[in-house]
Amino acid sequence: MSTSTPQAKPQLTQVYVPPPVRLIALEEHFVFDGLMKTYDETDRALLAPSRVPGLDEVGDMRIEEMDRAGIDLQVLSHTKPGAQEMETGGRAGALARAANAYLAEAVARHPTRLAAFATLPTGAPQAAAAELERTVRRMGFKGAMINGHTRGAYLDDARFWPIFEAAQALDVPIYLHPSNPHPLVFEAYYKDFPQLGYASWGYAVETATHVLRLILSGVFDRFPGLRMVIGHMGEMLPFALWRADGRLTPKSPQLKKSVPNTFIDHFSVTTSGVFSTPELMCTASVVGWDNILFSVDYPFESNMDAVRWFSQLPIAESERRKVAHGNAERLLKLAPAPARSAA
C-alpha cells in the first residue's frame, strides 16, 4: 500500500513578488445584501461576512487584496444560490436586476480591475434570457454565472434553453458553478456526514453530474456555438472522461460527438480553489492548455496562495500566459494589456 501523503497547501514566504504576467481571475465572488436576505438559514450561516471576510466588499479593500497578490482583473459573480432558489415570479427578477445594478456600479468605479458575470432569475427562463441580454448589451457584462440546479431542476430541461439560446446569440459564456446538492441527494448521501455535502466533495459531484446531463441532453448539438465554464479544475471530470466515454458514448447514438469531445469543445476549466500541480497537469493533458483559465475562488480561497502556486508552476511560459490571461481575453473578449514589469 502506498504511504504517500496528499500534497500540502502552498506555504507563503515572507517576501512575495508578484509574477510579471497579467493575471485575470475568473471565479471571484461577492454577495448582494438584498439577495442574501432571501437565503435559507444554512446558506446565511455559511456565507455570513463574519465567516467569509471580503464577500460583501466590492471596492477599495478588494482592490488592495488584488494588488497585494498581483491580480490585475477579477470577474465577479454572485455567490450561490443567487436568485435561483426563489419562487418563480417578479421578485426573483427584480432582485437579480438589483444585484446586477450593484455589481455594474462596482465595475464602473474600477473599470480596469473588475468585470462582471450576471445573476439570472433562472426560475423564469425567458426573463433570465432577457436579463442576460440586457446586462451584456447595456452594461458590458461578460456572461453569466448559474449556480447549479434551480429548485431541483437542472439545465438539461428544455425549458431553460432560452438562456442558452441567448448566450449563443450574444457569444458569451455561461459559468456553471456548484450549489448545494439536490435535497434528496443530500438526505441520502450526506445527512450523516454533512461536511461532505459542500466544497469538500458534494459540490464537485453535483456539478460534474450536471455537466454530463447537459451533454447527454443534446444541448450542445442544439446550440453548437455555446460556451460554458466550470471551476475547481474541472470538478473531477478530466480524470473521469475516459471511463465516461466508454460507458456513455456508445449508449448515446443521438449525439453528434463523443462525450469527451463535446466536453473539450464546449467547456473551459478554471483553477478556482484547487492549487494542485498534479491535478493541473491531469487537466491539461485532457482538455489542453487553451481551455484552462486562472481563478482563485476569492474570498473562499486566498489570492496569495493561488498566485504563489501559479507563479511557481513548472510549465512553459507560453502555457503560463495562456492560463494567466490569454484564454480569458479570448473567451471574454477582453482587450489585451501589457504585462507588469518584474520587480
Q: Known catalytic residues?
A: 297
DSSP E strands: which ranges in 36-113?
73-78
The Cα 283–Cα 264 span in angstroms is 11
C-alpha cell at 266: 464546449
Evaluated on CA atoms 282, 283, 284, 287, the torsion sign reads positive
C-alpha cell at 256: 453528434
The Cα 332–Cα 335 span in angstroms is 9
Evaluated on CA atoms 104, 137, 232, 161, the torsion sign reads positive
* Residue pointed to by grid coordinates 497585494: 68
Amino acid type, 250: P
- Provide the pairing of β-strand 118-119 with 114-116: unpaired
Question: SS3 for 53?
Answer: coil
Are the CB atoms for 295 and 328 separated by under 8 Å? no
306's CB contacts (< 8 A; 6+ apart) are 25, 69, 271, 275, 294, 295, 296, 297
DSSP character at residue 295: -
